[in-house]
Amino acid sequence: MHSPRALPPRLLLGPGPSNVHPRVLEALSQPLVGHLDPSFLAVLDEVSERLRRLFGTSNALTLPLSATGSAGMEACLVNLLERGDDVVVGVAGVFGERMCEVATRAGARVTRVETEPGTALDEAAVAEAIARVHPRAVAFVHAETSTGVLQPVETIARAAREAGAFVVLDCVTSLAGVALAIDEWGVDAVYSGTQKCLSCPPGLSPVSFSDRVLEHVRRRATPVQSWYLDVSLLAAYYEGGGDGARVYHHTAPISAVLGLAEGLRIVEEEGIEARVERHRAASRALLEALAPLGFEPLVDEAVRLPPLTTVRLPARIQQAGEAALRANLLERHGIEVGGGLGKLAGSIWRIGLMGENAREESVERLLGALRRELAA
Ligand code: PLP
């Protein structure tokens, strides 16, 4: 029998993707049904309901967008922003930077509030920018995968709400690994990805929009510049049109949605609190195990992101070239870890313990391999 070309087995401990749960792989390989088949629409509804619980929202418009996390980012920004609108963006790393680029391309005027890589945004500085600019939207990243910082949300979201601005939050690396309460925090538009703490493959972007967002989009002076990402059109498929019937918008990636449904069932079977605690425990175990080898945490404990730990490399590894060591971990031990980005390239590693991989066994495998490489 023909089998697809085999790829080498990998333990994926980089910034994403993470390894896919075997039950998700099985779900992905189910025979196809149509994207308007009632049996598939029932799964789609189940996915939306489970995503609402995981995001902590009652937003009707909560769905798996048919594209990766970057499209989730783009969907949030292009629906809210019209040409000439002001937006305040918190920039604490690469993904805050990407938000600025997307908003600029949408014709918005971007006010950036930056912080040093490895630190959280200064909430007072963001609040000051909001009060000065009176923006249409305030956008920032909850879990900055380029630095390993978990940004506190509530103070910035409150300042935005008080100024009448929409709040956009990137939860790509926090969904299913960190507890989320987006309604309580006052977030209007949120996006994530499937390839991190959900242990599904990349390809879908769970998103959620408040009714306020939908009302705003329906009242806009100009149509949303992206037809594919226009939430008023997406709503007609995911929620149904005026008569409740689903209106074709695009062919949903059926298999990917079946995989996500299984991934979400697994999350709920474990329970989100237990899952969040498992991510915390794994990250702590990693830092304890790495400390004797001279790796130090980049980020202060108060704002450390458990699913993605960033460590400063010992001088001898930096001098010898960290990329060669990562290549050896991959080739000889089948373990992927991530290097630093931008200013942090060459001086840090980004180690993901996400979803199924957030376990002591992952830490032990990495440590064993690292010790052998450093002794060689
Ligand atoms: N935002 C954050 C925080 C991310 O970590 C990523 C991907 O790593 C993205 C956005 C973009 O997601 P994708 O690569 O799935 O398009």
Cβ neighbours around 260 below 10 Å, total = 27
114 contact partners, CB below 8 Å, separation of at least 6 = 91, 92
For residues 27 and 29, give the distance between their C-alpha atoms in angstroms, rounded to a whole number. Answer: 5
Task: For residues 359-375, give the mean pLDDT.
Answer: 97
**Residue among 280, 143, 197, 273 at smallest CA distance from 19:** 197
> For the chain, what is the mean pLDDT?
97
Over the stretch 290-306, which tens digit does the pLDDT of each residue have? 999 999 999 999 999 99
Distance 191 CA to ligand 1 centre (A): 10
Q: Rg for the chain (alpha carbons), in Å? A: 21
Class of residue 205 by CB neighbours under 10 A (exposed 0-12, middle 13-18, buried 19+): buried
**Domain ranges for the chain:** 22-267, 271-375
User: Roughly how many angstroms between the first and final C-alpha of the chain, as a whole number?
Assistant: 42
pLDDT at residue 220, as a whole number: 96
CB 152 within 8 A of CB 92: no
Measured in angstroms, how far is the CA atom of residue 121 from the centroid of ligand 1? 19
Q: Which residues pair with 90 in a beta bridge?
A: 113
For residue 33, give the amino acid letter.
V
pLDDT at 376: 79
> For residue 332, what pLDDT band results from cuts at 50, 70 and 90?
very high
Which one, of 356, 259, 358, lies nearest residue 24 by Cα?
A: 259
Ligand 1 binding pocket, CB closer than 6 Å: 15-16, 68-70, 73, 95, 141, 143, 145, 170, 172-173, 193, 202
User: Each residue of 173-208: pLDDT tens digit?
Assistant: 999 999 999 999 999 999 999 999 999 999 999 999
Q: What tens digit of pLDDT does each residue of 139-176 get? A: 999 999 999 999 999 999 999 999 999 999 999 999 99
Top mutation candidate among 70, 73, 99 for ligand 1, by most atoms within 8 Å of CB: 70
d(CA 61, CA 234): 9
How many whole angstroms separate alpha carbon 257 and alpha carbon 148?
28
- For 60-119, the pLDDT digits (tens) are 999 999 999 999 999 999 999 999 999 999 999 999 999 999 999 999 999 999 999 999
Closest ligand 1 atom number to CA of residue 146: 5
Q: Which residue has the higher pLDDT, 343 or 265?
A: 265
The pLDDT of residue 89: 99
Torsion from C-alpha of 238, 88, 116, 275, nearest 10 degrees: -30
Model confidence pLDDT, tens digit, residues 3-26: 778 999 999 999 999 999 999 999
For ligand 1, the distance from its centroid to the CA atom of residue 371, given in whole angstroms, is 31
The band of 244, judged by pLDDT with boundaries at 50, 70 and 90, is: confident
The confidence band for 242, taking pLDDT boundaries of 50, 70 and 90, is confident
Label each residue of the chain as H, E or C. CCCCCCCCCCEEECCCCCCCCHHHHHHHCCCCCCCCCHHHHHHHHHHHHHHHHHHCCCCCEEEEECCCHHHHHHHHHHHHCCCCCEEEEEECCHHHHHHHHHHHHCCCEEEEEECCCCCCCCHHHHHHHHHHHCCCEEEEECEECCCCEECCCHHHHHHHHHCCCEEEEECCCCECCECCCHHHHCCCEEECCCCCCCCCCCCCEEEEECHHHHHHHHHCCCCCCCCCCCHHHHHHHHCCCCCCCCCCCCCCCHHHHHHHHHHHHHHHHHCHHHHHHHHHHHHHHHHHHHHHHCCEECCCHHHECCCEEEEECCHHHHHHCHHHHHHHHHHHHCEEEEECCHHHCCCEEEEECCHHHCCHHHHHHHHHHHHHHHHC
CB 111 within 8 A of CB 86: yes
| Gap from CA of 95 to ligand 1 centroid (Å) | 7
| Closest-lying ligand 1 atom to the alpha carbon of residue 144 | 3
Please, what CATH class does the domain formed by 271-375 belong to? alpha beta
pTM for the complete prediction?
0.98
Measured from the Cβ of residue 327, the count of other Cβ atoms closer than 10 Å reads: 11
Packing angle, helices 360-375 and 272-290, rounded to 10: 20
Domain made up of 22-267: CATH architecture: 3-Layer(aba) Sandwich (3.40)
Torsion sign, CA atoms 312, 317, 319, 324:
negative
Ligand 1 atom 13 nearest Cα: 69
* Centre of ligand 1 from the C-alpha of residue 303, in Å: 19
Strand-pair category, 308-312 with 109-114 = unpaired
Mean pLDDT value of segment 255-284: 98
